[in-house]
Amino acid sequence: MLLSLLLCYGGFTALCLSMDRHHAELLGGKPTAHRRRLLKLGGWLLLVLSLWAAVSSSGWGLGLVEWCAVLMLSALLLVLLMPYRPRLALSMAAVSLLVSPVAAFAQY
């Protein structure tokens, strides 16, 4: 479940950064069309990988329920952090993507 949470948070942050306003606020300047497409693709890929991680660890029945809970928790965390601590939200996304391989090896 930890791996799913880390991947979901990274995916939602990538999708957030694909928007002009958030990209300008966090990274300075608007994203190019190519960068926007890469961020969207990366975000959706991370969300799909989080689904795979949840289902592979708990099966389809409980894995989908866990994945929905992790989706809501990570989105809520990002929504609460963006207005007040946007740099912390970006730092947490970077840490989550760095820690996710360790969580993957710990899971299997």
What amino acid is encoded at 46 in this protein?
L
Q: Say if residues 56 and 20 touch (Cβ distance below 8 Å).
A: no
Share of the chain above pLDDT 90, in %: 85
User: What gap in Å lies between CA 4 and CA 18, rounded to an integer?
Assistant: 21
Q: Identify the sign of the CA torsion 17, 96, 82, 66.
A: positive
Task: Give mean pLDDT, residues 46-72.
Answer: 95
80-101 pLDDT, tens digit per residue, is 999 999 999 999 999 999 999 9
For the chain, domain boundaries:
2-107
pTM of the model: 0.92
What pLDDT is stored for residue 107 in this prediction? 75
Give me the pLDDT at residue 28, please.
Answer: 87
* Mean pLDDT, residues 51-60: 93
Decide if 24 contacts 84 (C-beta within 8 A).
no
